[in-house]
């Protein structure tokens, strides 16, 4: 079977054109003849051209010809159009988008999320739309999407920075562009991180706010299973709210997740909090929560505590405890102050830190969607959710895709495949997330099932297929040819898997799929010119007192547990000054001299020449600051 790649419409048009012109002349002349009231017996179609040419200067004849043309021209043209009208393809008409369609779809914007290149010009979506990137591991999503956007997005940004590469490559540029730059890396062995306390937003002096905010955090932290008993999750939420609200009511205690973990793992805590539930100084909600979970049978109580600690065991690590004891930045300032927040993590620790980062993103969305932005909150916030599915189920984020655009938040989730998303959010939840993303980017798939799914989404087209047969009877041969329309995918699964590594597919509703090229920031002169050294991050001071949980307490120590607290002000005064020499406050990171302004980029610039291997290695070596350079200045 031989597939025909062309169409016969052009050949048919060339044949019909002279026939149409002949019909126009015949009809025009015939109508004009009868308008002149010439005798019918004298009518001869072959003599009409000579007759009208001879009397062409006669105004009466000219007027008759114009009247004849009104009728004689439209009819043949209409007939030709009907004959040449393309037949609706039974199997679809999938194709790649043209330049006009790309422009009409708003993908040649000057400000927004950069997607890739088509014909050496940048594809950029400027509307308040979410962008979904589907790219397998090692396909270049960092160098092609994440880093280019960090080097050009002018407003606030929050990015999950696996391996800390994004910080090292882009933080220097964003700092010099006038941004407050923050690296939150809570598992860093040397304590080089900013601090973020999820409880610092709560006014612990207001019992109602304490209860409401803790219930929100408990809902984010303890997610019920898709299948199975929800009792343990609900009970864990109650226990968490009870313990945390009790700590909030004790001003001498640090209000942090580390303190909650130390408290809930205290020996004999069931009897202790059963007694505390009767303290009238506590809020009604706190007493009710404490009474609810301490009244459980011993086995049930143990199961509840284990459910709580399974989500809080990250805080066994004193490094994480220090990094989450206070907050050096505010998530509520992102729409007012240009801020770049990098959530650092090594690949081997992502699953361990995922609950904390999951809570971080959920709290960010919650705090910034409580009211519509006012005139002082004009900045947009881009959330780059690299390895989105590995963060675990976050219902607040899943729901946010449908409404956060009105609050100035744009989401750029990065997944390996849709099936990975379905494993976390289920069929319905994954489809809802994808449907709320206005633009999808697909890199070359590496798995056949992913390629098959993508092939179906790109659509199908119909093609004529010609089959020939030869039948021989003795000395006679009989040849036959059959033409039929066959369905074909725009790109077959095997073609998608063989797609060049530099190619991307951009799917946008309302236009055909766009086939473009990846950006390689280190090959592009526009982005290379923005590479500069990243600010060094100071280490947090070492704790003055041990903060690890106590393994064993005597009866006297347990009785005095209520008196346990962090250091009071008068105790701090007795600490030697050299111990307190390290300044824990974040420096002012705003740079007034915006020498590397975000608005200097020319998105019509032609891609520059590739750097040599020596140039690129030199640039990478320069991206690490010495220990002596200041963080954020």
Which H or E run contains 479? strand 476-489
* Alpha-carbon dihedral angle through residues 272, 275, 278, 281, given to the nearest 10 degrees: -50
pLDDT in tens, 149-201: 999 999 999 999 988 999 999 999 999 999 999 999 999 999 999 999 999 99
Q: Are 386 and 159 in contact (CB under 8 A)?
A: yes
DSSP 304-370: HHHHHHHHHGGGGSHHHHHHTSS-SS-GGGTTTS-EEEEEEE-GGGHHHHHHHHHHHHHHHHHHTSS
Nearest alpha carbon to residue 100 among 119, 116, 113: 119
- How many CB atoms are located within 10 Å of the residue 87 CB? 8
Assign 3-class secondary structure to 284-306. HHHHHHHHHHHCCCHHHHHHHHH
Phi, psi of 434 (to 5 degrees): -65, -40
Q: Which two tokens stand for residue 184?
A: 């939150």
Furthest CA-CA distance within the chain: 132
CA nearest 456: which of 466, 465, 464, 445?
A: 445
- For residues 446 and 454, the answer to whether their CB atoms sit within 8 Å is no
- Edge-to-edge strand ranges of the sheet holding 476-489: 2-3, 460-473, 476-489
**Residue pair 247/197 in contact by the 8 Å Cβ criterion:** no
Query: For the packed helices 284-294 and 269-276, what is the interaxial angle rounded to 10 degrees?
Result: 140
CA distance 269 to 474: 101
pLDDT category at 553 given cuts 50, 70, 90 is very low
Confidence of residue 555 (pLDDT cuts 50, 70, 90): very low
Tell me the pTM.
Answer: 0.74
Find out whether 112 and 125 touch, Cβ atoms under 8 Å: yes
| Band of residue 467 on the pLDDT scale cut at 50, 70, 90 | low
CA distance 29 to 65: 7
pLDDT at 471 over 70: no
521 sits in the region (left: phi over 0; alpha: psi -120 to 50; else beta) called: alpha
In sequence order, the β-bridge partners of residue 477 are 472
Q: pLDDT digit string (tens) for 483-540? A: 556 677 888 999 999 999 999 999 998 899 999 999 999 999 999 999 999 999 999 9
């Amino acid at each position: 079977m031989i597939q025909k790649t062309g169409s016969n419409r052009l050949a048919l048009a060339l044949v019909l054109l002279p026939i149409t012109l002949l019909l126009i002349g015949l009809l025009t002349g015939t109508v004009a003849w009868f308008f002149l009231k010439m005798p019918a017996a004298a009518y001869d179609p072959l003599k009409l051209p000579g007759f009208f040419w001879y009397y062409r200067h006669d105004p009466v004849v000219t007027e008759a010809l114009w009247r004849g043309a009104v009728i004689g021209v439209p009819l043949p043209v209409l007939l030709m159009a009907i004959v040449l009208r393309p037949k609706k393809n039974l199997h679809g008409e999938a194709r790649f988008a043209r330049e006009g369609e790309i422009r009409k779809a708003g993908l040649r914007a000057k400000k927004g999320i950069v997607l890739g290149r088509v014909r050496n010009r940048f594809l950029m979506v400027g509307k308040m739309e979410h962008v979904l990137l589907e790219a397998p591991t090692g396909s270049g999503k960092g160098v092609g999407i994440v880093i280019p956007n960090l080097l050009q997005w002018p407003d606030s940004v929050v990015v999950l920075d696996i391996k800390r590469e994004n910080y090292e490559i882009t933080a220097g540029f964003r700092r010099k562009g006038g941004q407050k730059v923050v690296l939150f890396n809570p598992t860093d062995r040397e304590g080089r991180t900013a601090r973020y306390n999820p409880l610092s937003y709560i006014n612990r002096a207001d019992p109602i706010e304490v209860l409401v905010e803790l219930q929100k955090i408990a809902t984010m932290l303890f997610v019920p299973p898709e299948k199975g008993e929800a009792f343990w999750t609900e009970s864990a939420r109650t226990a968490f709210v009870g313990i945390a609200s009790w700590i909030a009511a004790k001003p001498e205690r640090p209000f942090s997740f580390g303190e909650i973990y130390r408290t809930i793992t205290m020996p004999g805590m069931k009897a202790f909090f059963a007694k505390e539930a009767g303290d009238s100084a506590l809020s009604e909600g706190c007493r009710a929560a404490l009474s609810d979970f301490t009244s459980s049978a011993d086995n049930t109580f143990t199961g509840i505590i284990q459910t709580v600690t399974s989500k809080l065991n990250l805080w066994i690590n004193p490094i994480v405890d220090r990094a989450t004891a206070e907050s050096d930045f505010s998530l509520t300032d992102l729409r007012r102050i240009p801020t770049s927040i990098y959530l650092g993590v090594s690949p081997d620790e992502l699953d361990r830190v995922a609950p904390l980062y999951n809570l971080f993103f959920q709290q960010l969305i919650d705090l910034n969607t409580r009211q519509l932005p006012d005139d002082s909150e004009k900045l947009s916030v881009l959330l780059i959710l690299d390895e989105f599915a590995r963060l675990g189920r976050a219902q607040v984020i899943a729901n946010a895709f449908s409404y956060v655009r009105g609050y100035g938040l744009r989401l750029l989730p990065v997944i390996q495949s849709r099936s990975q998303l379905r494993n976390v959010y289920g069929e319905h939840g994954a489809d809802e997330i994808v449907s709320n993303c206005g633009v999808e980017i697909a890199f070359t798939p590496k798995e056949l099932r992913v390629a098959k799914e993508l092939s179906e989404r790109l659509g199908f087209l119909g093609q004529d297929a010609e089959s020939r047969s030869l039948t021989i009877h003795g000395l006679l041969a009989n040849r036959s040819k059959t033409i039929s329309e066959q369905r074909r995918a725009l790109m077959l699964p095997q073609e998608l898997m063989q797609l060049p590594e530099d190619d991307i597919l951009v799917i946008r509703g309302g236009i055909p799929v766009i086939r473009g090229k990846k950006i390689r920031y280190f090959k592009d002169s526009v982005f290379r010119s923005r590479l500069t050294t990243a600010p060094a991050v100071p280490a947090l001071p070492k704790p003055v007192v041990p903060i690890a949980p106590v393994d064993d307490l005597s009866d006297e120590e347990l009785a005095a547990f209520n008196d346990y607290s962090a250091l009071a002000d008068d105790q701090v005064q007795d600490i030697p000054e050299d111990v307190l020499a390290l300044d824990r406050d974040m420096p002012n990171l705003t740079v007034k001299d915006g020498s590397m302004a975000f608005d200097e980029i020319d998105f019509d610039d032609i891609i520059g020449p590739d750097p040599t291997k020596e140039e690129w290695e030199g640039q990478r070596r320069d991206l690490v600051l010495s220990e002596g350079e200041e963080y954020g200045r």
